[in-house]
Structure 1
């Protein structure tokens, strides 16, 4: 979601606006039965022009702080990144959490890169399952020291829990999940869903 509207209040405003437009608009309508057809057309276009879209994705969409593609820790790096990628915003109009001048997702990428440069193996579940709150606060510290990243306690708990699952079931690496799902997105989602039902039940 765009940075300018990424707060709980703004999301509610956007939802209300969309609901109102859908209900009252006279010049625009959405034929819901045609949505799958449009999605199929978009995917066909992307696949036919994949050589155009891949460079754009790598150079413009992916943050420069992403790990190198052939780096063996890349999969676990990205797993931690996306595990922590939720609720990164404070209410609109208040001071936002930033790392290296970036808010939200890109700030999180910067924080994880900074931790690795400082010699902290944030991609390793053996490291982050033992992490204390003060250690995570240090890793995710904002440029000015305030505000701290939202929901720090929840992020620490989730890191501990997903790390334990990786260590106990998947040889301590998310790559094992990919192998077991045969690199199939649908099978991976089912595998993750199965494991998520056990997280938080202790």
Structure 2
């Protein structure tokens, strides 16, 4: 199946699932959960749910580490979809993946923001944060409560499935980022693709720096 068609079908299918098949939405409880998260009332939240919410944010940062660079070379920049994904998660990200074209070359210079996303320290900070979140969830979390909320609450159910979709979709952008870095390493690709979350984090820590070229107009001016 054509990649773009598959991504659009996944986007429509996930929306249909959330609206028609997911457990009911408990709006008051969801708003209270979000209030507790953003006002740092974390003791009132199951550590598994708090960690899952945070890991979705980690995923958005991982994708940002690749797609802001990719968006430099696309007709449609990534930043509007990044803003949309802050509120809607993977639903805001999927349209960008469907619109984008295969890109195997980066040109121009990296600004300060791209240098940050391209740095290994960015991947290291995300990796350490992820290890801490996993430790927090497994050490203190109530798994029975999480399963109950997954089965009975639309927000928790959708957030959990969105986390899984982030894992599933990452290989669709990995090959392009590796090509931009001139890093031909099939073993690394498959290792990253088949190890959910930890593989992409390791990739951010190990990938070679993105080559930065001087814009053509500057070359002409310097002649």
Alignment TM-score, normalising by the size of structure 2:
0.26
> Greater helix percent: which structure?
2
Structure of higher RCO (CA pairs closer than 8 Å, 6+ residues apart): 2
